[in-house]
A and B are shown apart, each in its own frame.
Chain A
Amino acid sequence: MIGGLFIYNHKGEVLISRVYRDDIGRNAVDAFRVNVIHARQQVRSPVTNIARTSFFHVKRSNIWLAAVTKQNVNAAMVFEFLYKMCDVMAAYFGKISEENIKNNFVLIYELLDEILDFGYPQNSETGALKTFITQQGIKGQHQTKEEQSQITSQVTGQIGWRREGIKYRRNELFLDVLESVNLLMSPQGQVLSAHVSGRVVMKSYLSGMPECKFGMNDKIVIDKQGKGGTTDDPGKSELGGSGKQSIAIDDCTFHQCVRLSKFDSERSISFIPPDGEYELMRYRTTKDIILPFRVIPLVREVGRTKLEVKVVIKSNFKPSLLAQKIEVRIPTPLNTSGVQVICMKGKAKYKASENAIVWKIKRMAGMKESQISAEIELLPTNDKKKWARPPISMNFEVPFAPSGLKVRYLKVFESKLNYSDHDVIKWVRYIGRSGIYETRC
């Protein structure tokens, strides 16, 4: 179990130090600073073992969060906790920065007391926490005994993530499908590896204790329905026009509110949602991925002192859609002494500090193409080392899900209060972003 938790700033000064168990001494704080933060070589492993003590760390901008233990704990659990901890802090005071942590240190200690008990993670649901850990401070006389006992029963009850008696005038529901698409492509255009990792994020403003049911074009569900329904009508496509009917999900995880037993037996996703924003599910697909962009590189070495680079990008989606925030990063050799760039669209610049040419395009419609060409001058070196030619990477944002996922329905049932599924206003949005989207050159 977690023995202690420390938060450091970038210099290695301790901002928060909370020790839960006796086997963690004060020197553990210094050990982590000396061996990880100030390490001569950059420490890349998130788990470090120093003197039979394990340190698990995550970094948020310049802030280090480190969980310490002497026992053999489940590392995935510790990291899950650390990420949750980041979410909770972000929910309370926004960005995790040194200043914010210093300003809210009392709150953080309060939170730590609540979400970790003797090193065992407890309820870390923001919605629930916010009912009894507030930033304004609680005035004792205002909170009646009833309210207190209500909090207690809710926190310890079966549905810890939602309190009773929520009321909205407008029952509204926002659904975001956020995907990031990862790709490694050979110079000839062969896909070496590609996968999409996606999340379904939900923001719900619903009254009472509604029961929700979420449906998407999961291959297994669609196939089952196809068998059960009319056999000669497989192309019954209410699903979008991309031609793809269903997607194969490799693996997925759910928010704790989802009834897993029902998912296991019927593969239907039903739940009582928490109030506000939360992540309903996470998934990953590897088959039939729509690659929004194709990068065609052309690199030619002219003698020892010159390099000619030409890169063409093609957008590969419906012309009606617009991709945004496109950025192509073309690495340059380490002995670059000068760069000339010509591009038809957007802006391109040689960034010496990053050893790369960065080409930015604000918007680009589907089924278009654009190109950049650059002349790179090189300084002859006496080193025999050849340039490793790192891959060209790309960033973008597109308004569809590259995995092909479609939301089929989201039904809301609330039996006690009198509003029906039709009364709820529902919003769905798809955003596809680039993860590590690289093409070798």
Chain B
Amino acid sequence: MPAVSKGDGMRGLAVFISDIRNCKSKEAEIKRINKELANIRSKFKGDKALDGYSKKKYVCKLLFIFLLGHDIDFGHMEAVNLLSSNKYTEKQIGYLFISVLVNSNSELIRLINNAIKNDLSSRNPTFMCLALHCIANVGSREMAEAFAGEIPRILVAGDTMDSVKQSAALCLLRLYKTSPDLVLMGEWTSRVVHLLNDQHMGVVTAAISLITCLSQKNPDEFKTCVSLAVSRLSRIVSSASTDLQDYTYYFVPAPWLSCKLLRLLQCYPPPEDGAVKGRLVECLETILNKAQEPPKSKKVQHSNAKNAILFEAISLIIHYDSEPNLLVRACNQLGQFLQHRETNLRYLALESMCTLASSEFSHEAVKTHIETVINALKTERDVSVRQRAADLLYAMCDRSNAKQIVAEMLSYLETADYSIREEMVLKVAILAEKYAVDYSWYVDTILNLIRIAGDYVSEEVWYRVIQIVINRDDVQGYAAKTVFEALQAPACHENMVKVGGYILGEFGNLIAGDPRSSPLVQFNLLHSKFHLCSVPTRALLLSAYIKFINLFPETKSTIQEVLRSDSQIRNSDVELQQRAVEYLKLSSIASTDVLATVLEEMPPFPERESSILAKLKKKKGPGAVSVNELEEGKREGGELNGGGERGGDNSAIATSNASTPSPSADLLGLRAGPPVTAAAPSAGSLLVDVFSEAGVNDDGFLSSAPPSVVSEDPAPPLPESNELLNKFVCKNNGVLFENQLLQIGIKSEYRQNLGRMYLFYGNKTSVQFVTFSTTVTCPGELQSQLNVQSKPVEPLIEGGAQVQQVINIECLTDFSDAPLLNIKFRYGGALQNLTLKLPVTINKFFQPTEMASHDFFQRWKQLSLPQQEAQKIFKANHAMDTEVLKAKLLGLGMALLENVDPNPENFVCAGVIQTKAQQVGSLLRLEPKRASSDVPINRAQQ
């Protein structure tokens, strides 16, 4: 750099700056600047040409004013003029002004580009560097267009000075980052890669940044750099600390270059060439060895530089994930750092270990440090380090140490920072579920979790507990007991109350035998929390109360009293008020039978991905998760909410469900409750089917035609095919018969071996039917197989009116025939006689069962006897839609098993036929063949 002469001190600028600094107020400053601007304007306007010095001075002042935050709208021309000066200082100021203040002004950009071009083609290295720096600083598209072709040439030319090469490499990197489409490396690729062999370390350092960036975009083109990088690395690693002169930093040879080389290697898989690989492994070993050596200096810079290389090397080892030996060594090295007194080192060690823990080779090695990590979690003073420790514990957890880790995390949670509590809670919940060996431990853990950090327990967590408790009948009793005990604490968290309300509502009966937890005690306990809870929780509790009425009839009066009180029935919250009113009516009007059906225990939840996991994914933030995944997370969240609503609103759903089978469906006016249908689709399982059917039925069972029957239905084992009967194989409700006089609607429901059928006889005419009578008969041997009782109907049906008949059916043993219904009445004097088959088939008494893939096939094979198996191949009359088929199969009453058959096209079902005499398990396979549209049906019975 040319020496700065005395005249370049620019006194005027110094005076101006000190004037501004001395200004007492903003206004004074603005005045001073206005004055200066006017002065500069008059100077620039003046007719006599300014000399280089004063031009530089005024441009400098303008720059200073601009940096103070004022607009500058002139002087660009003068700055561009400075570019063509021969003096370094003037050129420098010109470039500085351009870099800071340039905007894409077309006329000036051309001038600037011209000046840059001149400088680039000059032989003066300092001018070339200035020009390159300016290009890099501005980095606009125009500049990229103008110089993208020129710079690579400078970069690889043999006669370019080293310092210029350095600048050129970095300048190219910048242009590549702003407009990658304009920087075409094609012909230069190999020569750029060979810069790694350059004598000058500075050039190599600059070039490697460029190469790393380029090879991330097109790794194949730059593949050759791997071997060069390895050899360069090994030369540096093996050099003595004095070899590299200027590039030795506190006794560490070229630390920046080493780090960049290691990072470049992380862009590629392990080298395939054995020699290269051997050399690389050697390098990595040397680096690991060096970490063990005593430090050459006590200065912090020395250890920082050394550790930087070490951590990059470990990242590379983890990236390769193929050298068990190195992985374990790396792990041990990190283990040492875990107890280092440098906080940063501990942090980095924990972070690296997290990735190590996921590698199969080093997982065990990582696990040996569990005590240290737990200790770190407890004693670290820096929250970010504790966070990493928690992450690591989560990563290293497996079945063997789950209990210990979960216990530690739980105990830490009591003192954890607020910022990481929610994440910790989620992690504990996931680990507890994932590695739960027995579910009582799981329930204990989660309830503990809610007790300790209730505020941070998100909805998903407690939904999950309830899902699991409902799906596992072996823990239900234990859960009820634990929850009951937990609720006895004088102050317990609202989430605990929710879980408690739900579980006691469902399974309170399991602990009611104990006088200490008698129904009334349970109720009083729950109700004591009622007034401290928010509205949604109160709503849940109300549902729990009505469930209590069903479970324990002795509490009925107490609960009715509560429901009737003004604070419930006149609550200002509409939801609470509605629930109170409806439940009160329901409890006082409905018979115990109806109550039992309406308030039945919740069916098991369908298994799906743990909602908590999704929540944790979402919580990790948009940085890690792509938009797509995020949206998925949201959708998941929505579903969850739906699911949760279902969890919370169980009895609301159940009640509305009751409107279908209830003999006096409109009695409670419950049909008006729209939330049912809103909640139903989200439940997404068997339940949906029932609901949608019910919905259709509600509007359609008098007027609309029955849904078209698809005859690809799995054929029932009936000897003769009866149209009217067939369509009821897979559904329970619909129109059984219709002519111009009479319409017969049907609603039926089955539970185990019992069924109840409602027949609705509608008079379509305006004339009354008289002597209306019906009889149900069981022909032949059916009499011993099926027990059918019907209540008599009124003999008179007014025109347009409808009467209802209830028929109770009990299945004694398996049967194949259907009972007959005979109807007689007089219409306008003429006697009408009608005989129909009642749609009662054996599949109505199916109880769906879930089973795993290997269970299924094991049983399937056991049923090898010819009489145990039935097969039928038939032609599909309609195009086969998977969803329609699924719905049909579900309608059949069996459980549709997903992911059981290796061929995803096939449908597999399992169910148990419940009769009074015995229970018959049966399996079904439906193999649709698209090409031939043959549908072979396999059916096995035991």
Instruction: Mark A residues whose CB is within 8 Å of B.
Output: 10, 42, 62, 334-338, 352-355, 377, 379-383, 385
- Contact partner of B34 among A352, A377, A379, A382, CB < 8 A? A352
List of B residues within 8 angstroms of A352 by Cβ = 34-35, 37-39
Known contacts A10-B24, A354-B34, A337 near B44 by CB under 8 Å: yes
Top 9 nearest A-B pairs (CB, nearest first) are A352-B38, A337-B45, A383-B73, A353-B31, A337-B41, A353-B35, A381-B73, A381-B74, A379-B41
Cβ-closest chain A residue relative to B107: A382
Inter-subunit contact A336/B31 (CB<8 Å): no
Report the separation of the CA atoms of residues A337 and B35 in the bound assembly, to the nearest whole angstrom: 11
B73 touches which of A62, A335, A337 (Cβ 8 Å): A335
A367 to B39, CA, bound (A): 39
How far is it, in angstroms, between the C-alpha of A185 and the C-alpha of B842 when the chains are bound? 98
Least Cβ–Cβ distance between A40 and chain B, in angstroms: 8
Q: Could you say which residues of chain B place their CB within 8 Å of the CB of A382?
A: 73-74, 76, 105, 107-108
Which chain B residue lies CB-closest to A352?
B38
The distance from the CB of A169 to the nearest CB of chain B, in whole angstroms, is 48
Q: Contact between A353 and B74 (Cβ–Cβ < 8 Å)?
A: no
CB–CB B24/A335 < 8 A: no
Contact A10 B35 (CB under 8 A): no
- From residue A391, how far is it (CB to closest CB) to chain B in Å? 19
Sample (20) of A-B pairs whose CB atoms are under 8 Å apart: A10-B24, A42-B26, A62-B24, A62-B25, A335-B73, A336-B41, A337-B44, A337-B45, A352-B35, A352-B37, A352-B38, A353-B35, A354-B31, A355-B38, A377-B45, A379-B74, A382-B74, A382-B105, A382-B107, A382-B108
Task: Report Cα–Cα, A42/B25, bound state, in Å.
Answer: 11
- 9 more contacts with CB within 8 A, not counting A10-B25, A335-B73, A379-B74, are A62-B24, A334-B37, A335-B74, A336-B41, A337-B44, A354-B31, A379-B41, A379-B44, A382-B73
Shortest beta-carbon distance from A355 to chain B in Å? 6
Cα of A62 to Cα of B37 in the assembled complex, Å: 26
* Given A10-B24, A62-B25, also A338-B45 (CB < 8 A): yes
| Smallest CB separation, B833 vs chain A (Å) | 85
Check B42 for interface membership: any CB of A closer than 8 A: yes
CA distance A57 to B622 in the complex (A): 43
- Could you tell me the distance between the alpha carbons of A334 and B33 in the complex, rounded to whole angstroms? 12
| Complex-state Cα separation, A355 to B37, whole angstroms | 10
B residues touching A (Cβ–Cβ < 8 Å)?
Answer: 24-26, 31-32, 34-35, 37-39, 41-42, 44-45, 73-74, 76, 105, 107-108
Chain A residues whose C-beta falls within 8 Å of the C-beta of B44 in the assembled complex: 337, 379
In whole angstroms, how far apart are the Cα atoms of A352 and B37 in the complex?
8
Hey, which chain A residues are within 8 Å of B32, CB to CB?
353
Q: How far is the CA of A334 from the CA of B31 in the complex (A)?
A: 13
Among B24, B31, B37, B39, chain A packs the most CB atoms within 10 A around the CB of B37
Q: How far is the CA of A10 from the CA of B26 in the complex (A)?
A: 10
Q: A377 contacts which chain B residues (CB < 8 A)?
A: 45
Chain B at the A interface: SS class:
helix
A residues in contact with B31, CB < 8 Å: 353-354
* Cα-based distance from A383 to B75 in the complex (angstroms): 11
B915 to chain A, nearest CB (A): 73
Chain A residues whose CB sits within 8 angstroms of the CB of B41 once the complex forms: 335-337, 379
* B34 and A353 contact, CB distance less than 8 A: yes
Please, how many angstroms separate the alpha-carbon atoms of A383 and B38 in the complex? 17
Chain B residues in 8 Å Cβ range of A355: 34, 38
Contacts of A354 in B (CB 8 A): 31, 34
Kindly name the residue among B41, B42, B105, B108 whose own CB sees the greatest number of chain A CB atoms within 10 A.
B41
Contact residues in B for A380 (Cβ distance below 8 Å): 74
- Return B21 CB to nearest CB of chain A, in Å: 13
A337 to B58, CA, bound (A): 14
User: In the complex the two chains form, what is the Cα distance from A262 to B235 in whole Å?
Assistant: 104
Q: Which residues of B contact A336 (CB under 8 A)?
A: 38, 41
A379 to B39, CA, bound (A): 12
B34's closest neighbor in chain A, by CB?
A: A353
Q: Give chain A residues whose Cβ lies under 8 Å from the Cβ of B76.
A: 382
On chain A, the residues within 8 Å of B74 by CB distance are 335, 379-383
B31 to A: closest C-beta gap in Å: 4
**A354–B38 Cα gap in the complex (Å)?**
10
How distant is the Cα of A158 from the Cα of B635 in the complex, in angstroms? 73
Q: In the bound complex, what is the Cα–Cα distance between A310 and B107 (angstroms)?
A: 35
> How far is the CB of A82 from the nearest CB of chain B, in Å?
20
A10–B105 alpha-carbon span in the complex (Å): 41
Q: Give A134 to B307 CA distance when docked, in angstroms.
A: 73
Q: Which of B24, B45, B107 contacts A379 (CB 8 A)?
A: B45
Closest to A40 in B: B69
B residues near A381, Cβ cutoff 8 Å = 73-74
Q: Give, as a whole number of angstroms, the nearest-CB distance from A36 to chain B.
A: 12
Once the chains are docked, how many angstroms separate the CA of A10 from the CA of B35? Answer: 23
Query: CA–CA, A334 to B74, complex, Å?
Result: 10
Chain B residue with the shortest CB-CB distance to A380:
B74
Question: What residues of A have a CB within 8 angstroms of the CB of B35 in the complex?
Answer: 352-353
CA distance A381 to B31 in the complex (A): 21
Residues of A within 8 A of B45 (CB): 337-338, 377, 379
By a CB distance below 8 angstroms, the chain B residues around A62 are 24-25
What CA separation (Å) do A354 and B39 show in the bound complex?
Answer: 13
Nearest residue, chain A, Cβ from B27: A42
CA gap between A114 and B34 in the complex, in Å? 46
Q: Which residue of B lies closest to A61 (CB)?
A: B25
Contact partners of A337 in chain B: CB under 8 A = 38, 41-42, 44-45
**Min C-beta distance of A68 to chain B, whole Å:** 23
- B25 neighbours in A (Cβ, 8 Å): 10, 62
Return B401 CB to nearest CB of chain A, in Å: 47
Bound: A353/B24 CA distance, A: 15
CB B658 to nearest CB in A, in angstroms, measures: 52
Inter-chain CA distance A42–B108, complex, in Å, is: 34
Chain B: CB-nearest residue to A332: B38
For residue B150, give the distance in angstroms from its CB to the closest CB of chain A.
Answer: 27
Query: What's the minimum C-beta distance from A10 to chain B, rounded to whole angstroms?
Result: 6
Q: Which residue of A lies closest to B31 (CB)?
A: A353
Most buried by B among A42, A377, A381: A381
- Which of A337, A355, A381, A385 has the most chain B CB within a 10 Å cutoff? A337
Nearest CB in chain B: distance from A171 CB, A:
46
From A338, A353, A354, A380, name the one whose CB has the most chain B CB atoms within 10 angstroms: A353
Chain B residues, CB < 8 A from A385: 73
Please report the C-alpha to C-alpha distance between residue A338 and residue B73 in the assembled complex, in whole angstroms.
17
Report the separation of the CA atoms of residues A334 and B34 in the bound assembly, to the nearest whole angstrom: 9
Which of chain A's residues has its CB closest to B44's CB? A379
CA distance A17 to B34 in the complex (A): 36
Bound CA–CA A214/B23 (angstroms)? 49
Q: How distant is B509 from chain A, measured CB to nearest CB, in Å?
A: 53
Q: Hey, which chain B residues are within 8 Å of A42, CB to CB?
A: 26
- CB contacts (< 8 Å) of A383 on chain B: these are 73-74
* A9 to chain B: closest residue by CB: B24
Rounded to whole Å, the gap between the CB of A338 and the closest CB of chain B is: 5
Collect the chain B residues with CB atoms within 8 Å of residue A335's CB: 41, 73-74
- A55 CB to nearest chain B CB (Å): 18
Question: What separation, in Å, do the CA atoms of A385 and B73 have in the docked complex?
Answer: 9
Interface centre among A336, A379, A383 (most CB of B within 10 A): A379
Q: A392 to B355, alpha carbons, bound, how many Å?
A: 71
Smallest CB-CB separation from B69: which chain A residue?
Answer: A40
Give the distance in Å from the alpha carbon of A376 to the alpha carbon of B325 in the complex: 83
**Chain B: CB-nearest residue to A338:** B42
Task: Output the least CB separation between A96 and chain B (Å).
Answer: 16
Chain A residues lying within 8 Å of B34, measured Cβ to Cβ, are: 352-355
Chain B proximity of A390: nearest CB distance (Å): 14
CA distance A228 to B24 in the complex (A): 63
What distance in Å separates the Cβ of B548 from its nearest Cβ neighbour in chain A? Answer: 46
**In the assembly, what is the distance between CA of A198 and CA of B871, in Å?**
108
In the bound complex, residues from chain A placing their C-beta under 8 Å from that of B108 are 382
In the complex, which residue of chain A has the Cβ closest to the Cβ of B74? A381
Residues of A within 8 A of B105 (CB): 382
Which chain B residue lies CB-closest to A377? Answer: B45
Query: Smallest distance from the beta carbon of A263 to chain B beta carbons, Å?
Result: 42
Q: How far is the CA of A334 from the CA of B73 in the complex (A)?
A: 9
